[in-house]
Structure 1
Amino acid sequence: IVINNPWRPWWQRYQPISYNLCSRSGSENELRDMITRCNNVGVNIYVDAVINHMCGAGGGEGTHSSCGSWFSAGRKDFPSVPFTHWDFNDYKCRTGSGNIENYGDANQVRDCRLVGLLDLALEKEYVRGKVDDY
């Protein structure tokens, strides 16, 4: 998701709406080139991949994403992956807000949203397959 107010905060990178590699940091080909060049001079690269959730529930809908992919956070519709409402944990979360309210409760931590981020149902084979494809 692309956030313009405040202007492109650090945490926007942790709100994916697809698994396409294109952002203000570069494209998939540019990433491959950078990794090759770094490895050639002995620098190892570690990827920080977001695989537990998608964007925040209040992310709206449209194409305001780094790759221009359409999505609807409210309907949990991410056709670029594709994920639909069936691929999220909302049905399992037992808090009134849908968010983690007690970090000491393992069920909430596993099944509810972290600060409103749409929590993927990683126990589902389809969801794990999409993450694995990424």
Structure 2
Amino acid sequence: MYDDVLVPTDGSATVAQTLEHAIPIAADNDATIHALYVIDTRILQAATDETRTEIETKLEDEGEDAVAAVADRAAEASLETTESVRRGTPSKTILEYADEEDIDLITIGTHGKSAREKQFSMGSVSERVVDDAATPVFVVREA
């Protein structure tokens, strides 16, 4: 049923909780786990010329660490993994990746933001993914 399971990661503790669901689903279906980190290009655009390179390097390093952490957890369950660090707007890039890679299930964590927090941050990535995905989405709320 599921051959490819996407786990978008931001390196937060919520991803560990998401993996508690994604790994058994993938293992039960002998699926590949796709770990994806999106460098939010809006952050780079807002940076000054003096800080842009430093911020970009930091985000790239965070992304590599985040996808490696997902891959390590999947490897413990003997699952095949694919790691990717991309640039763009997170929700759009997640959905583009899902389409390009024929993802069967997106497992994504949510931080359970209040209505005020969502308004301040222009919504949540997980909410946009759920609203716009052509693929089933499994949402794990942060404990």
Q: TM-score, normalised by structure 2?
A: 0.29
Largest Rg, 1 or 2: 1
Higher strand share: 2
Higher helix share: 2
Normalised to the residue count of structure 1, the TM-score between the two structures is 0.30
Pick 1 or 2: higher relative contact order, CA cutoff 8 A, min separation 6.
2
